[in-house]
Amino acid sequence: MLKTEETQEMHDIVFQIAKALVDAPEQVTLDVIERDGSTILRLRVAPTDTGKIIGKMGRTARSIRTILAACGMKYHHRFSLEIIEDHNQPDSDHADALAAAG
């Protein structure tokens, strides 16, 4: 359970937006870290979906951050979004290319 109702709401909003944007919604995870009067939302998606979350020139990620900032003004609390690029999981195209080369 998250610390506050506001934090839970922000978690749910970002989680639903991320799931709607990606091809593998079952791989979307969102961790919440409370620190020094602010909340960090750490978003992980499948490696092939990272670009969909970031968007062209970072526009999609910036839009999600704008929503968090607007809600933060209402709640008098700072929310920030971190998009974690997990390169430990090889995407299927890269793994196939390595298998074909080897």
pLDDT of residue 86: 75
Mean pLDDT of 73-91: 82
Mean pLDDT of 20-45: 95
Distance CA 15, CA 10 (A): 8
Residue 32 CB neighbour total at 10 angstroms:
16
Q: For the chain, which domains are there?
A: 5-101 (3.30.300.20)
What secondary structure does DSSP assign to 67-81, as a single string?
Answer: HHHHHHHHHT-EEEE
Distance CA 61, CA 49 (A): 13
Mean pLDDT of 57-64: 96
- What amino acid occupies position 36? D
Mean pLDDT of 60-86: 94
